[in-house]
Structure 1
Amino acid sequence: MSPQQEYQRRFDQQQTLLQAAQALSEKFWRTRRVLFIALLVFAALAVAGWLPAFLSVLPLVLFIVAIVRHQRVIETIERATRTANYYDYGLARLRGAWMGKGNAGERFKNAAHPYAEDLDIFGAGSLFELLCTARTRAGEERLAAWLLAPAMFDEIRTRQQAVNELRDKLDLRADLALLGDAMNTGVHHAELAAWGDQPARFTARVLQIVAAVLGVITLAAAVAWLVGYGRQYVFAALIAETGFLLYVRHEVGRVISELERPSRDLRLLTQVLERVEQEQFTSSALSQLRAALDTNGLAPSQQIARLHRLGEILDWCKNQFFAPLAFALLIPAQIAIAAERWKQECGPQVAHWLDALAEFEALNSLAGYAYEHPDDPFPELVEVFAQGALFDGQQIGHPLIAEARCIRNDVKLTAQQSLLIVSGSNMSGKSTLMRTVGVNVTLALAGAPVRAQRLRLSRLNVGAAIHIQDSLQAGASRFYAEITRLRQVVELTQAELPLLFLLDEILSGTNSHDRRIGAAAVIKSLVERGALGLVTTHDLALTQIADELQGCARNVHFQDELKDGAMYFDYRMHEGIVQRSNALELMRAVGLDV
């Protein structure tokens, strides 16, 4: 069954469940109204003496039962609605109608990054929006980090194995998406990790024993008073407790004030952790990730449940009826000491739990993409020392373009032929080709499948100058912004990894004479430093650079055809230099008199 068929089946299943639950909910609404009226009638008859009082309880009991059962139906409606929406969004991704509906990762946008803006890694309609299913900020940050820097080959292979295992776990992905709805805004990850890393200071076992003994003595003294013994024992016990509380009040107050938010955040976190703990994994990466969660032989959800119970008891202590007994038994002090001991034991693990969950969510995001695109293979990783820097893509396409509309091309760059100079008319596909290469490198080196029939590549740094804009705030023209970026790209050749450069309409902001000299110098410098790359241009004079590089460069082009006043593009890469331009035809087509 194809991903679209499976999503549609699950969506229809949830819609059927939703319709049945909504019909049942309507029946419960009517039943509750009837029972409420019956309750009023029975009460009136009982007050009038026409009906035994105990019979008036019957409609009340039935009314309460109806409310409880109706609430369960309402919860079913909410879950079915959210689940249906989850699969509906999956269907939208498969149709190519997902842009602007998901998490765009706007907070990760960074104009100074060497390729993020140019390759649409973040923002509406971005690669991040297509991939991300993370429900925690830590998971989003981990996925973003993977897309912003190449991983080591061993790490990439480990991620590939994990993604391959998670690929078909649809129920797990759906459950995590639903369970995590409150986590993105509800859990303060940085504060939670910082709280766990703080040293626990109020942990002395003797204080906990003293508090428990004083509480028992006070309770025994109170019982003795009730059966006829003197009050002096109660007063003595209370005086002892007061002295103890004066001694520990600052630490108890501090612990209790600091405990509320971490306890709530961890409770939200445990719902997702419990679901992950239920899964059995076979790949080494996921098995190690799961095993690393346990602390002293207990799963994180079990450890967090211990702390949550302490928090619940503290909440009871705020109840006006329970508060006097809680004071007499020194329960707040005992809870504070127990919470600090939990923090001493498990606090340092909180950051590890968050880190493991972030890793899992990032892997799960890549696995969702892998499931939805079963024809996209994992790339073959080639060590640089074997044959130099390499990008060899057969039938590569852009993953942000719906597969039905995606035109694919072969692109091969090697240490021997390291440059493609791409000429062609406006809108013919030159910039899209560069983005296609760059985005597939980003996916490959993050551990994800790629949009290609086959892709072999070495580890590469990517540097791009595609989406260059001027800045009024910085007082920088487009030309200055471009040469600044070009300097950044050239500096990347000094890094350990070979560079893949992607330069669109290089130096188009200056005159043709300076452009020819400047572009040739930059391109030759990059090639001589072992970089691979693509350069697009409208200026056919720049295509002559290929002759000057003595076989290291190759001219290719995209072409167009004018039919009945309309431009047609095949978006196929052809050998050689483009022989015609469509600029004048386009100007005439929009009504300009040229």
Structure 2
Amino acid sequence: MTAHTEYENRLEARQRSYDQLCRKDDHAVSFRTAVFLVGILVAWVVLGGWGVPWQFLLIPVGLFLGALFYHESVKRKQRSAKLAIDYYQRCLQRLDGKWSGIGPDGGEFLDPLHHYAGDLDIFGIGSLFQLLNSPITPSGAKTLANWLAPASDQGMPSGEAVINRQNAVRTLRDQLDLRERLAVIGPTKQSQLDARELQKWLKNPGGLTAPWIRVVGVLLGAAGISALGYWFFSGSPSALILVVFVQMGFFYRLREPLKAIKEHSEHAVIELHRIVQVIAELETVTGDDPEIDRLRSEWIENGTKASDTIHQLERTVSQFENTRRNVFIAPLAFISMAGMHYASAIDRWRNTHGRHVDRWFQAVGELEALLAFSQFHYENPTYCFPTLINEATRFIAKGLSHPLLPGVSAIANDVELSENCRLLLVSGSNMSGKSTLLRSVGINTVLSWAGAPVCARELELSRLQVAAAMRMQDSLQAGTSHFFAELKRIQLVVELAQRPAENEPTVLFLLDEILHGTNSHDRLVGARGVIESLLKTGALGLVTTHDLALSEIVKDLDTPSQNVHFRDEWINGKMTFDYQMREGVVPKSNALSLMRLLGLDV
């Protein structure tokens, strides 16, 4: 069964479930209304002197409370069914090529100075991140972003680590139920912001853990309850007033740590519940895989699961919030010092378990990123896992295309960069596919070293670090011209290639329309110098140009290089492209033809 058919079947089933729950919701509302009206009638009869015992009121009250709990259960299931419907609709939109602009795009992770993220559409609307993104926690989104675009000083993962990710993705491929259950938990953007703050707060040591605080709290709580009892039996509130004043002084003494807890506890109730759900689901991941086993082991502390440990904190925070916001409980909670008891318990939890929070959240992030790749793998069964090699520098692909293009629009090409050909100089007509080829090479290299499948029939590559100069942005405010922006970008690529070679990956450079902002003579001299500098470092890559004079560079290089091109054809007065890469230099340009097509007199 194809992914599309499976998603359609599941969407239909969830829609049926949702429709049934909507009918139950309507019935529950009607039943509650009827019970409420009957309750009013019974109350009128009981209070009207008809001799009906008051106990009869318990019947409608009990029915109303039962209906209330039942209705709330129906509404929870209704919300879950709606989230499942939304999830499968998004899945189908991805398969139909209508996913761009839907869901988080990772724009907050984009570094304008990154050596390829902006050039290859890693982040932003219609980006690789938006296509892949399914994590629901900030840790998951951050891990996915780091795997797709690690900082240049962060280093690339080892081949062994990437192979472990590949194996885990294969294992997780068919875990559709797990991915659905996680999607149903689904956060909002605001909840992600709250979760980031919560993670920081949980790691910080609490200020209410000193033994004397607990002792004084217990004594003042006992004194408060005793004083309340004394007031009840003697009618004199003086003892209670005195104890309350002492308690207020105690609270004032600890106002700062209490304030910190109060500031976070409201959002913490929601976020802790969400995190407990996520980790509890991830703890159930099945599959015999060392990488998955390693991540699951991160959530075990002294034989206790992380979800249980965090659930303990969730209950404590919820009880603390009750002592503050429940008008029936708050007065007694103040007198008994229950709020202080729960606040102290929260800080003790932070001091005991806070040091594990980063490890837990990191494991959540890694497994969510692997699940994102597994979904990508499931939805694209023709994509392959690349073969990673160490013994030679190469990029050899068969049937390579761009994963962000709809399947019917993506034209595959074979690309080889190796010791036999370290440079492909690509010439061609406007709109013929030169830039798309560079982006296909770059983005599939990124996917390869992230641990994901690639959009190719076969791909074999070595440890390559992508460095691109493809999308330049001039700035009027910064006084930067387009040409100068390109020079700065090329400088970044060259400097990355010239870094000390020990333990550094080989640079795969992608230069689009190299130096097209200057005259032909300077472009030829400058392009030759840049290309020679890059090749001397051992780098390999692709360069595109409109200027056919640059094709002569290949003849002058000592390094094995090749001219290739894309072309257009005029058929029945229309310009057409087949997007197929061919050997040699493009035989003609289409610039004048395009101008005439638009009605320009040339």
Same fold, TM-score > 0.5, yes or no: yes
> Which whole-Å CA distance do the structure 1 matches of 2:519 and 2:463 have between them?
36
1:521 corresponds to 2:524: no
> Can you list the C-alpha shifts for 1:394-432, whole angstroms capped at 9, x where unaligned?
111100011232110110101341000111111111111
CA RMSD, 1 decimal? 2.9
Deviation at 1:255?
Answer: 3.7
* Aligned partners of 1:214 and 1:329 also within 8 Å: yes
> Which whole-Å CA distance do the structure 1 matches of 2:336 and 2:521 have between them?
89
> Which whole-Å CA distance do the structure 2 matches of 1:219 and 1:48 have between them?
40
Deviation at 1:332?
Answer: 3.4
Of the structure 1 ranges 319-328 and 497-506, higher mean CA displacement relative to structure 2 is found in 319-328
Distance 1:22 1:199, change over 3 A: closer
SS at match of 1:121: coil
1:417 corresponds to 2:400: no
Letter paired with 2:441:
V
1:258 corresponds to 2:266: no
Distance 1:208 1:413, change over 3 A: same
Residue 2 (structure 1) aligns with = 2
Deviation at 1:56?
Answer: 6.4
SS at match of 1:120: coil
Residue 78 (structure 1) aligns with = 79
> Can you list the C-alpha shifts for 1:28-54, whole angstroms capped at 9, x where unaligned?
444445445555555556666679475
> Can you list the C-alpha shifts for 1:281-334, whole angstroms capped at 9, x where unaligned?
432222121111223322222212222332233334334554454445433343
Residue 129 (structure 2) aligns with = 128
Of the structure 1 ranges 128-137 and 106-115, higher mean CA displacement relative to structure 2 is found in 106-115
1:339 corresponds to 2:346: yes
> Can you list the C-alpha shifts for 1:101-125, whole angstroms capped at 9, x where unaligned?
1211111223221211111111111
1:168 corresponds to 2:169: no
> Which whole-Å CA distance do the structure 1 matches of 2:222 and 2:301 have between them?
32
Alignment of 1:261-410 (within 5 A): 261=264, 263-264=268-269, 265-318=271-324, 319=326, 321-323=328-330, 325-383=332-390, 386-387=391-392, 389-410=393-414
1:458 corresponds to 2:462: yes
Deviation at 1:136?
Answer: 1.9
Distance 1:315 1:507, change over 3 A: closer
Letter paired with 1:435:
R
Of the structure 1 ranges 529-538 and 268-277, higher mean CA displacement relative to structure 2 is found in 268-277
> Can you list the C-alpha shifts for 1:354-379, whole angstroms capped at 9, x where unaligned?
22222222222112111111221211
Deviation at 1:256?
Answer: 5.8
* Aligned partners of 1:260 and 1:311 also within 8 Å: no
> Which whole-Å CA distance do the structure 1 matches of 2:479 and 2:250 have between them?
63
SS at match of 1:404: coil
Letter paired with 1:362:
A
Alignment of 1:104-123 (within 5 A): 104-123=105-124
Residue 470 (structure 1) aligns with = 474
Of the structure 1 ranges 52-61 and 407-416, higher mean CA displacement relative to structure 2 is found in 52-61
Residue 177 (structure 1) aligns with = 183
Letter paired with 1:107:
E
Deviation at 1:561?
Answer: 0.9
> Which whole-Å CA distance do the structure 2 matches of 1:204 and 1:39 have between them?
52
Deviation at 1:205?
Answer: 3.6
SS at match of 1:258: helix
> Which whole-Å CA distance do the structure 2 matches of 1:62 and 1:225 have between them?
38
Q: Percent identity?
A: 40
Residue 151 (structure 1) aligns with = 157
Structure 1 residue runs without a partner (length 5+): none
* Aligned partners of 1:270 and 1:301 also within 8 Å: yes
Letter paired with 2:280:
E
> Which whole-Å CA distance do the structure 2 matches of 1:85 and 1:243 have between them?
55
Letter paired with 2:403:
P
Residue 559 (structure 1) aligns with = 567
Distance 1:61 1:216, change over 3 A: closer
Distance 1:222 1:488, change over 3 A: closer
Distance 1:39 1:344, change over 3 A: closer
Letter paired with 1:508:
H
Of the structure 1 ranges 135-144 and 393-402, higher mean CA displacement relative to structure 2 is found in 135-144
Structure 2 residue runs without a partner (length 5+): 151-155
* Aligned partners of 2:83 and 2:186 also within 8 Å: no
Deviation at 1:192?
Answer: 2.9
> Which whole-Å CA distance do the structure 1 matches of 2:279 and 2:128 have between them?
27
> Which whole-Å CA distance do the structure 2 matches of 1:67 and 1:334 have between them?
32
1:198 to 194, 204, 209: 204
SS at match of 2:467: strand
Distance 1:316 1:477, change over 3 A: closer
* Aligned partners of 1:508 and 1:515 also within 8 Å: yes
TM-score normalised to the size of structure 1? 0.90
Residue 545 (structure 2) aligns with = 537
Deviation at 1:191?
Answer: 3.0
Deviation at 1:515?
Answer: 1.0
Letter paired with 2:302:
N
1:494 corresponds to 2:520: no
2:588 to 570, 580, 591: 580
Distance 1:13 1:282, change over 3 A: same
> Which whole-Å CA distance do the structure 1 matches of 2:320 and 2:131 have between them?
44
